[in-house]
Amino acid sequence: MNRSEAWALSKLSYAELVYRPLLSTGLPIKYAGTKKSVHQALTGATLNKVIFAMFTMGGAVFPFLIYKLAIEAISLSVTTALSIILGFGYLVLYSVQVLPTFVTSGSFGPLAALPLEPRERSLVALMTLWRTLDYILVLSLATEFATVAYFTGSLAAASLVFVVSLSSSVLAVALAIRLIALFQNRLENTSTRGGKGLASIRGYFRPLLFVLWGLGVMSAVFLFSVISALAPPLNLVLTHPDTPLGVAASLIFPFSAGLLVSNFLGFGIGDLSLVLAGGGVCLVIFGAAAVSWGVPRVLDRIVVEPARRSQTGWARGADQYFFRVRGRLSAYVRKDLRVASRNPATGFLFALPLFEILAVVIPVTATSVVRVSALIVGSQVGGSFALFTAFLLVTVEDLGVERRTALPIAASVRTLSKVLVSTLTYLPVPIALSAILLFIKPPTFGGGIFIPVAAVATVFAACVIEVTVLNTLADWGRGTAVRFIAGVGSGELIMVIPSFAFTVEYVATHDRTGALLVLLGVSAVECLFSTLVLRTLRARGSNPRGEGLA
Amino acid sequence: MTPSPLVEARDLVKEYGQVRALDGLNLRVNPGDVYGLLGPNGAGKTTTLRILSGLEVPTSGSARVAGFDPATQGVEVKRRIGYVAESAILYESLTPREYFEFVASTRQLNHDAVAYASSLAQAFDAEGASYDVPIGALSLGTKQKVAVIAALMHRPPLLLLDEPLNGLDAKSSKILKELMLIHVERKGAVIFSTHIMEVAESVCTRIGIINDGRLFAEGTMGELRSLSGTSGGSSLEDVFLKLTNEERFVEETLERLRSEGT
């Protein structure tokens, strides 16, 4: 088989990869039952890739904008490093979301049955992988190159960043595949050993995944806050290569790349840093090359060896078949938590409270006094985390089983379950902010303590609206990107309204207490409205017109 | 007096874009019926069961299941049915125990029903230790057992089973067939689709033959034999091929393959 034949075969595998999950989610597509449906699915996948590529492009450019506009005191080394690491984070984030279908959807089943050499299968799988990530890789690497060339005027620096970003991208994809494989291996090992299931995922793995996702989410939502908080200490570390921390930072990727770029542009970084940074960059490039060499083998294993299936029976004594019956909502919440914790794409949800606290507390405590505006922004930030949680819970819920099952579950229960889980992830924010205001740094306005607390009602309402919009759009067969923009967007709108009302009232009257009362009133109205939405869903029952055609 | 039917469908039409999966299907199933839905691939069997279970809305026509309209009263219908899909629809990251707990909780089963569900689990398999293994790691047959138990555990009046014997071993198939018979003895009803003619012949009280989205023959085995003009000793397979006009095609195809083989 030559490369063009492999390329043609990879087109089929890629189409399977895109189409199969769509079928299994039961989401209707406009031209279901016709060849156009495959075309539509592929167009939707391309749209998703382009939208996500825009995120990665933004991540590449944003640190340089801050650097150029001098919004924050940030060095070129740190700017370059942040730009690269954001691209890395986004790519891992996307790959962990998308690549599990490589393993689980059986897209390579037909390929595995063909009489192909392992090398040929690997080639097809590699090309399929490329088709899955093409827009994101090309656009992010081109943006990285163009950004560095534009902002530094150095072609050498841009070329260096391009090579380093390319290596970083390879490592990101490899890391994602590794993470997915860990989940998958755990599943297989558990089945063959008869263990306790994925609930007992090894302790070392879960924190890693959490950190990874947390970084991704933080960078996506709170780029500015994070950069403003991280830039000063990073600058300090990188400008002191004589300290142990400085030595380590110089060697560590992507700071090593950042230091080399600085050196290209004539910012003296010292001989020691130069050697360490050069070593660090070489290490990454060699590492990426080594990983590239190994990826085809991993892909071939995925293609050839479908998941091992347990052939064993169930249990021994009759009493071992016992299970508990809980309340409907309680059972649904437990199910949502279990499913989310065992999916590589949502496992990080359980670390969100930690990252929320960091993302909210760092900016709030960075100022000398806690202003009302900081509390409003902090609440918005925490609320955005909750909205993201709701989106993930709805989107990756075991390929949409709840939309295809014949269980008597009202749409209101399904919605409320996800809203409760999402709202729970917000609760650490008011707790952390209240603790800061009560014990560490009093606010400039005493009533400000009610702002993050009132936001609980707003977050609840925003999640109800978001989940309802997401479900409705799924009924209409809209793609993930459209659902994300409309669902999270509508939630964000609900989140913003009370703050907007507060601002308008304050600008008009300069009365903080009055503005706070308006904020509380608007939050209460939103909460009431969301309750009415839930009641409507309850009245609608599980009418398939409302549940989505499967 | 004619008993009120558990299932009544009138002029069901279902279109997927340009494709018409159901084309005016009429169906009536009474308590005590084991109704076998037979037909070639793509005939509309699965679509019929999905509409009756409230998972799809017909393009036109109406259906009543246990007195409720599945298109507008989905929850009520789902409370009264047990549905096994053609390919098991399960939360693959949950273990069978967790999945049963979830299903039992959403159906709010009482202690007796939980005990019955535990007995079902034990009946279908009692030798290994995969009751606490994620469903995704189980074999096709074991997944099917999970789906079957989840559909039976609340002892619904109506069972809608789409190829329920897919992947089941002989022991489990036997148990399921017997459970279907016990179910109708207790005035329940079963509608199930299958390609295994022997099963349909041995279990069904009535058989409906569906083709191109229409039910064009229905009755007991004897009624179908006389309708097709086959002899008293004809198997359901013969009757089916005769009624679907595929008998001649099969014979010609086999003749051609034989001659090509030599």
Instruction: Dump the DSSP string for A338-360.
Output: HHHHTSTTTGGGGGHHHHHHHHH
Lowest mean pLDDT among A76-85, A173-182, B109-118: A173-182
pLDDT band, very low/low/confident/very high, at A217 (cuts 50, 70, 90): low
Q: Which range has the worst mean pLDDT, A258-267, A422-431, A488-497?
A: A258-267
Whether A543 and B108 lie within 8 Å, measured CB to CB: no
Instruction: Mark yes or no for CB contact B83/A406 under 8 Å.
Output: yes
Encoding tokens for residue A280? 């660090």
Residue B202: its pLDDT value, please?
Answer: 84
Cβ pair B133:A323 closer than 8 A:
no
Which B residues, 4 through 23, put their C-beta within 8 Å of a C-beta on chain A?
A: 16-19
Counted residue by residue, chain A has a size of: 550
d(CA A506, CA A27): 46
Cα within 13 Å of Cα(B220), Cβ side: 5
Distance from CA of B217 to the nearest CA of A (A): 27
- Nearest CB to B57 within list A191, A195, A545: A545
Please report the residues numbered 52 through 71 in chain B whose beta carbons come closer than 8 angstroms to any beta carbon of chain A. Answer: 53-57, 70-71
Q: Which of A31, A310, A401 sits opposite B137 (nearest CB)?
A: A310
Contacts of A401 in chain B (CB under 8 A): 89-91
Distance CA A270, CA A240 (A): 10
Task: Give chain B's mean pLDDT.
Answer: 86
Q: Which residues does chain B have within 8 Å of residue A198's beta carbon, measured at their own beta carbons?
A: 93, 134
pLDDT at B223: 84
In chain B, the residue whose alpha carbon lies closest to the alpha carbon of A406 is B78
Residue B126: pLDDT over 50: no
Give residue A525's pLDDT.
95
Q: How confident is the model at residue B111 (pLDDT cuts 50, 70, 90)?
A: confident
Distance from CA of B11 to the nearest CA of A (A): 19
- Tell me the chain B residues in contact with residue A331 when contact means C-beta distances shorter than 8 Å: 101-102, 105-106
Instruction: Identify which has the larger pLDDT, B64 or A184.
Output: B64
Supply the pLDDT for residue B245. 77
Top pLDDT among B60 and A308 is at: B60
Instruction: Over range A507-512, report the average pLDDT.
Output: 90
Flag if B89 and A401 touch (Cβ within 8 Å).
yes
pLDDT reported for residue B251 = 84
Range with lowest mean pLDDT among A24-38, A125-139, A145-159, A299-313: A299-313
Q: Which range, of A34-43, A248-257, A414-423, B70-79, averages the lowest pLDDT?
A: A34-43
Measured between alpha carbons, how far is A114 from A486 in angstroms, rounded to an integer? 42
Query: Which pLDDT belongs to residue A328?
Result: 87
CB B163 within 8 A of CB B52: no
Radius of gyration, CA atoms only, chain A: 25
* Least confident segment among A24-38, A359-373, B237-251: A24-38
Percentage above 70 pLDDT, chain A: 71
Is A31–B17 a contact, with Cβ atoms under 8 angstroms apart? yes
Lowest mean pLDDT among A230-244, A328-342, A435-449: A230-244
Is the CB of residue B42 less than 8 Å away from at least one CB of chain A? no
Tell me what the mean pLDDT of segment B105-121 comes to: 87
Average pLDDT (B167-184) is 89
The pLDDT value recorded for residue A456 is 93
Q: How far apart are CA A381 and CA A503, in angstroms?
A: 17
Going by pLDDT thresholds of 50, 70 and 90, the confidence category of residue A109 is low
User: Mean pLDDT lowest for which of A172-176, A373-377, B129-133?
Assistant: B129-133
Provide the pLDDT confidence category of residue A110 given band limits of 50, 70 and 90: low
Give the start-to-end residue ranges of the domains of chain B. 7-219, 220-262
Nearest residue on chain B to A399, judged by CA atoms? B91
- At position A224, the amino acid (one-letter code) is F
Q: How far apart are CA B17 and CA A462, in angstroms?
A: 35
Mean pLDDT value across residues A32-42: 69
Closest chain B residue to the Cα of A190, Cα to Cα:
B133
Name which of B94, B127, B152, B191 to mutate to probe chain A: the one with the most chain A Cβ atoms within 10 A of its Cβ. B94
Question: Tell me, what's the pLDDT at A34?
Answer: 60
Q: Check pLDDT > 70 for residue A200.
A: no
Cα(B165)–Cα(B194) distance, integer angstroms: 8
Query: Which residue matches tokens 């080394």?
Result: A77
Cβ–Cβ gap B129/A314 under 8 Å: yes
Closest chain B C-alpha to A401 CA, distance in angstroms: 6
pLDDT of A503 above 80 = yes
Q: CA-nearest residue of chain A to B75?
A: A408
Note the pLDDT of residue A549: 30
- Mention every residue, 6+ apart, whose C-beta is less than 8 A from residue B54: A406, A542, A544, B65, B70, B71, B73, B74, B77, B78
Which A residues in the span 74-133 are in contact with B, Cβ-Cβ below 8 Å? 104
Query: Of all helices (H) and strands (E), which one includes residue A49?
Result: helix A35-69
Task: Kindly give the residue spans of alpha helices, DSSP state H, lying in A194-305.
Answer: 205-221, 223-238, 244-251, 255-264, 271-304
Among chain B residues, the shortest Cα distance to A410 is held by B75
Establish if B90 touches chain A: CB-CB under 8 angstroms: yes
Identify the pLDDT of residue A227.
61
Residue in A closest to B131 by C-alpha? A314
- A to B CB pairs, distance under 8 Å: 207
CATH of domain B7-219: 3.40.50.300
Predicted pLDDT at A465: 95
Mean pLDDT calculated for residue range B98-113:
88
Q: A479 CA to chain B: closest CA distance, Å?
A: 18
Q: Please check the confidence at residue A27 and state whether its pLDDT lies above 70.
A: no
- Can you tell me the distance from the alpha carbon of A36 to that of A29, in angstroms, rounded to the nearest whole number? 10
The stretch A166-179 carries a mean pLDDT of 84
Distances (CA, A) of B204 to A27, A114, B53: 34, 41, 20
The residue among A24, A180, A325 with the most chain B CBs within 10 A of its CB, best to mutate, is: A325
Q: Are A216 and A352 in contact (CB under 8 A)?
A: no
Task: Report the residue from B16, B71, B133 with minimal CB separation from A310.
Answer: B133
The beta-carbon contacts of B68-77 under 8 Å, at least 24 apart in sequence, are B70/A544, B71/A543, B71/A544, B71/A545, B72/A543, B72/A545, B73/A541, B73/A543, B74/A408, B74/A541, B74/A542, B74/A543, B74/A544, B74/A547, B75/A408, B75/A409, B75/A410, B75/A541, B75/A542, B76/A408, B76/A541, B77/B52, B77/B53
pLDDT value of residue A532: 93
Higher per-residue pLDDT: A347 or A309: A347
Give the per-residue pLDDT at A550.
27
Residues of chain B with C-beta less than 8 angstroms from the C-beta of A340: none
Given an 8 Å threshold on Cβ–Cβ distance, is B136 in contact with A104?
yes
Which residue in B has a C-alpha nearest to residue A545's C-alpha?
A: B57
Angle at A519 between CA A518 and CA A522, to 5 degrees: 85
This complex has an ipTM of 0.78
pLDDT digits (tens, 9 = 90+) for B5-25: 899 999 999 988 778 889 999
Q: Tens digit of pLDDT for each residue in B128-163?
A: 457 777 787 788 888 889 999 999 999 999 999 998
Whether the predicted pLDDT of A529 surpasses 90: yes
In this prediction, residue A195 carries a pLDDT of: 41
Residues of chain A with Cβ-Cβ distance to B78 below 8 Å are 406-409, 542
Cα separation, A498 vs A376, in Å, equals 10
Residue of B nearest to A326 (CA): B105
Chain A positions touching B126 (Cβ under 8 A) are 313-316, 318
Tell me which of A27, A405, A476 to substitute to probe the interface with B (most B C-beta atoms closer than 10 Å): A405
Stretch A351-380: mean pLDDT, rounded?
A: 75
d(CA A22, CA A195): 31
Nearest to A191 among B91, B108, B133 (CB): B133
Chain B CB within 8 Å of residue A35 CB: no
- Out of B76, B85, B131, name the one closest to residue A320 (CB): B131
B:174-193 residues touching chain A, CB 8 A cutoff = none
Please answer yes or no on whether B75 and A409 come within 8 Å at the CB atom: yes
Selected residue with higher pLDDT from A443 and A20: A443
Confidence of residue A192 (pLDDT cuts 50, 70, 90): very low
Q: Which of A333, A534, A529, A522 is nearest to A425 (CA)?
A: A333
H and E: helices and strands count for chain A: 21, 0
**Cβ-contact A183, A341 below 8 angstroms:** no
In terms of average pLDDT, the best of A186-190, A239-243, A274-278, A489-493 is A489-493
Minimal CA separation from A37 to chain B, in Å: 10
Mean pLDDT of A425-443: 83
pLDDT tens digits for A71-106? 666 778 888 888 888 888 778 877 877 777 666 656
The pLDDT score that the predictor gives to residue A121 is 78
pLDDT above 90 covers a percentage of chain A that reads 13
Residues of A in contact with B50 (CB under 8 A): 550
Contact A548, A475 (CB under 8 A): yes
> Is A324 near chain B, with CB under 8 Å?
yes
Q: Are B157 and B6 in contact (CB under 8 A)?
A: yes
A315 contacts B132? CB cut-off 8 A: yes
- Closest residue of B to A330, CA-based? B105
Hey, of A323, A403, A414, which one would you mutate to test binding to chain B, going by the most B CBs within 10 A of its CB? A323
- What confidence category does residue A152 fall into, taking pLDDT thresholds of 50, 70 and 90? confident
Whether residues A545 and B130 touch (CB distance < 8 A) is answered with: no
What is the average pLDDT value for chain A, to the nearest integer? 76
Cβ within 8 Å, pair B16-A32: yes
Please state, for a pLDDT cut of 90, what percent of chain B lies above it.
Answer: 29
For A325-363, the pLDDT digits (tens) are 888 888 888 888 888 777 766 666 666 666 677 767 766
Q: What integer is the mean pLDDT of A500-505?
A: 92
> B206 in contact with A at a CB cutoff of 8 Å?
no
pLDDT digits (tens, 9 = 90+) for A447-481: 888 888 889 999 999 999 999 998 888 777 777 77
A538 shares contact with chain B (CB less than 8 Å): no
Pick the more confident residue, A196 or A358.
A358
- Give B35's strand partners: B191, B206
